């Protein structure tokens, strides 16, 4: 069944990681900004007393990034368990700066032994077609981009890399071998690009990311390239518009993004009623990218049924009941997958 459905999609063959990423940079996301020439940070410690009943410490960090002659700064928070040992950790690209947040059950993550970093994506650059504010303003002073210049997703991914830069300074309390980047919807797309372009992440988790994320685009139900470019073309590079109603001529599909993370680990989460993202196309993307991983996607059932989890391979998938939302259930599935595969 999988082979028949993939054959119908007429997908480009998997290439080397560098070749696939090069195509994605040129045709979909744009090239990520260069690394800063220098980084510094200000730490505000213990910003909430008795955080998580004393089971964690919550700090706020403001990181300053020198980019040429300019400096760009943005804040993020980190909650670290007070329990002894080195903790695996999430970098959560979030829609808000709240800790905890409705998309981030912080105390439960702490109770499961994880630290968590989180930042609000809009603190990096706005979620609109204004390329003169935040990081976008630093990169493009006049707000104009060349065809392969970074879209907003690439800028948010760049910011997640900078959070990882800071995390690496905490080697006494963090298990740096088990870093996980995660996000929901447009920020699930971002999490996948973050991991594909930074090998320091051992895991990536995309929740309900759909078109431009974890879903095969060819013959996809729900949102298409035409749909996404009508409203959110600024997430991508200008070249992406070439594929409006022209998906069959793309020299890539989203399996290139997932395969670009191999040989590290990837988990894709779908919601059964999220027809805009299209769970079947997300599940197919796992199968299409499977050959890039040491332990391939272990699944013989398509479509998945509610409650199914296919976690045996280095690329996994789960389907839950409900709508487009980053739920507690999704986090618990992610924790289970990480605990099965962590180094």
Cβ(244)–Cβ(230) under 8 Å? no
- What the chain holds in terms of domains, given with CATH numbers, is 2-341 (3.40.50.1820)
Q: What angle do CA 327, 270, 334 make, to 5 degrees?
A: 55
Task: Tell me the residue length of the chain.
Answer: 343
Whether this model's pTM surpasses 0.95: yes
Place of tokens 């045709």: 27
Place of tokens 């060819």: 218
166, burial (CB in 10 Å: exposed 0-12, middle 13-18, buried 19+): middle
**Is residue 1's pLDDT more than 80?**
no
Q: How confident is the model at residue 141 (pLDDT cuts 50, 70, 90)?
A: confident
Residue of 22, 73, 275, 324 marked catalytic: 324
Order the strands of the 87-94 sheet from edge to edge. Answer: 38-44, 56-67, 70-81, 115-120, 87-94, 174-184, 203-207, 265-271, 315-320, 309-310
Average pLDDT value for the chain: 97
pLDDT tens per residue, range 260-315: 999 999 999 999 999 999 999 999 999 999 999 999 999 989 999 999 999 999 99
Query: Maximum distance among all alpha carbons in the chain?
Result: 57
Q: Is 126 a catalytic residue?
A: no
**Is residue 2's pLDDT more than 90?**
no
Q: How many CB atoms are located within 10 Å of the residue 17 CB?
A: 17
Alpha-carbon radius of gyration of the chain: 19
Residue of 185, 206, 209, 270 marked catalytic: 185
Q: Is 185 a catalytic residue?
A: yes
Q: How confident is the model at residue 218 (pLDDT cuts 50, 70, 90)?
A: very high
pLDDT tens per residue, range 174-209: 999 999 999 999 999 999 999 999 999 999 999 999
Is the Cα torsion angle 7, 12, 17, 22 positive or negative in sign?
negative
């Amino acid at each position: 069944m999988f082979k028949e459905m993939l054959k119908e999609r007429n997908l480009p063959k998997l290439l080397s990681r560098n070749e696939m990423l090069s195509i994605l940079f040129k045709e979909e996301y744009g090239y990520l900004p260069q690394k800063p020439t220098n980084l510094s940070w200000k730490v505000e410690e213990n910003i909430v007393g008795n955080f998580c009943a004393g089971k964690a410490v919550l700090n706020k960090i403001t990181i300053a990034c020198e980019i040429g002659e300019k400096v760009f700064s943005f804040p993020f928070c980190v909650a670290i368990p007070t329990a002894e040992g080195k903790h695996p950790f999430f970098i959560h690209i979030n829609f808000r700066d709240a800790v905890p947040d409705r998309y981030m059950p912080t105390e439960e993550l702490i109770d499961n032994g994880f630290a968590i970093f989180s930042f609000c994506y809009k603190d990096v650059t706005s979620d609109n077609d204004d390329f003169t504010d935040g990081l976008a303003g630093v990169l493009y002073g006049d707000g104009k981009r060349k065809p392969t210049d970074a879209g907003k997703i690439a800028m948010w991914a760049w910011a997640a890399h900078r959070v990882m830069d800071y995390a690496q300074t905490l080697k006494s309390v963090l298990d740096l071998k088990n870093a996980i980047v995660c996000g929901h919807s447009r920020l699930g797309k971002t999490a996948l690009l973050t991991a594909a372009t930074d090998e320091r992440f051992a895991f990536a988790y995309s929740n309900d990311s759909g078109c431009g994320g974890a879903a095969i685009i060819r013959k996809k139900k729900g949102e298409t390239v035409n749909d996404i470019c009508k409203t959110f073309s600024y997430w991508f590079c200008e070249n992406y518009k070439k594929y409006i109603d022209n998906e069959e001529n793309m020299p890539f599909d989203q399996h290139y993004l997932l395969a670009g993370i191999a040989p590290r680990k990837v988990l894709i989460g779908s919601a059964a009623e999220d027809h805009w993202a299209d769970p079947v196309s997300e599940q197919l993307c796992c199968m299409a990218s499977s050959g890039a991983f040491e332990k391939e996607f272990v699944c013989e059932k398509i479509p998945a049924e509610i409650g199914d989890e296919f976690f045996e391979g280095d690329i996994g998938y789960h389907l839950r009941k409900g709508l487009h939302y980053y739920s507690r259930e999704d986090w618990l599935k992610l924790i289970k997958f990480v605990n099965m595969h962590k180094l």
